[in-house]
Amino acid sequence: MSNKRIRMAMVGGGEGAFIGAVHRIAARLDGQIDLVAGAFSSDPERCLQTGQTLGLEPARCYRDYQSLVQGEAQLADDVRADFIAIVTPNHLHFPVAKMAIEHGFHVLSDKPATLTFSEVQQLATLLEQHTSLYGLTHTYTGYPMVKEAKQRIIAGELGAIRKVVVEYSQGWLSQAADEQGKQAKWRLDAHKSGISCCMGDIGVHAANLVEYVSGLAITELCADLDQVLPGRALDDDGTVLLRFNNGAKGVLTASQIAVGEENNLRLRIYGEHASLEWAQMEPNSLWLRPHNAPAQLLRAGVGPLSDAAMMAMRTPAGHPEGYLEAFANIYRNFAAQISAHKAGQESSNQTFDVPGIDQAVRGMAFIYNAVAASKQDSKWHPFTMDH
């Protein structure tokens, strides 16, 4: 990409918001993106305070997202933000993205893309009508060894995939007292989170990771979601059986009440000739286990790896690259995508390895299909794109 930095505005992510700080760190890690404006909080005073702490001009610390979009749109092309990062609770994802796209801004949004499936369909239609780029922060696709796993499957090392097992276990909502935290309150509120807590928050990450690495698409599912702690309106635990478009079977488990678990995302893919295993809490390692041969521990930075994995690494072997770097890979790729778009070059999400509207729609479909299937007594349900 060119040496000219890409300009970013942010909606949400004020003081006390965990994910906003993560986005800002990721955006500036490679020195290609500048934060120039923001509407960081629904409280105008807190918004200004956050912006000043981050070194922004007071005039570009806006009181709400409407003022941000309108204000930035009035600035000269070489001054205004190029894209808007959306790091709010789920219910604001669509209205912010819609207004941004209608005013000519690119959008990088937290997942899930929207509050409802109807909204994500509207978002897809909106993007067809405008030239704005759209990215979704499915962070785990940014890890170097996740990309290596994907490339090894593309190269045929596993043969035909037969079975997939993916687990995402957390324990941070395992007690009733946990519900009082700021992050918990909105995730357990259907008006702000949507129809699902656990599947909408982490199960969708697991489903996206499976499809990204395997190259397969979920075609049917059987779901059992639960509210383990009494009084909760939304699921905090669930298991989903999966069927894929090549006939393979899979199991997806997601839990936020698994006491003692931290952020245990683990993927295993079994093929005809070999299997692969990757775990987010040991991200520099990828296990390749061939049939009737010694298992191989592949390590980031050691030996020959795919171009995709090498491009995602920043440090020599033995220096762990984790969550922030994976996040930064999505930001770096999105910045390159915007630069290509400005230059009139090919700028598709697939070319730049950025999760986009297709993944956004499938993610919302997964959430809706899982919730609907869990309410039925029959076993298998088609993975439909109509809700």
Q: Express each pLDDT in 356-373 by its tens digit.
A: 999 999 999 999 999 999
62 DSSP 8-state letter: -
Q: What pLDDT is recorded for position 2?
A: 43
Residues of 331-348 as b/e, b for ≥16 C-beta within 10 angstroms? Answer: bbbbbbbbbbbeeeeebe
Q: What pLDDT is recorded for position 358?
A: 98
d(CA 3, CA 32): 8
User: Which segments of the chain have a pLDDT < 70?
Assistant: 1-3
Phi, psi (degrees; rounded to nearest 5) at 357: -65, -30
Residues of 169-180 as b/e, b for ≥16 C-beta within 10 angstroms? Answer: bbbbbbeeebee
Handedness of CA 215, 269, 117, 106 (dihedral sign): negative
d(CA 236, CA 170): 10
The CATH code of domain 144-315+364-374 reads: 3.30.360.10
| Architecture of the domain spanning 6-132 | 3-Layer(aba) Sandwich (3.40)
Q: What pLDDT is recorded for position 126?
A: 98
d(CA 290, CA 274): 4
Q: Where in the chain is the domain with CATH 3.30.360.10?
A: 144-315+364-374
- Whether the Cβ atoms of residue 278 and residue 146 lie closer than 8 Å to each other: yes
- What is the pTM for the complete model shown? 0.96
Q: Where in the chain is the domain with CATH 3.40.50.720?
A: 6-132
Structure tokens at 181: 């935290």
User: Among the residues of the chain, which ranges form H helices?
Assistant: 18-28, 44-53, 65-73, 93-102, 117-129, 144-154, 182-187, 190-193, 198, 204-214, 307-311, 323-342, 349-352, 357-374
* Span 96-144, pLDDT tens digits: 999 999 999 999 999 999 999 999 999 999 999 999 999 999 999 999 9
d(CA 70, CA 62): 10
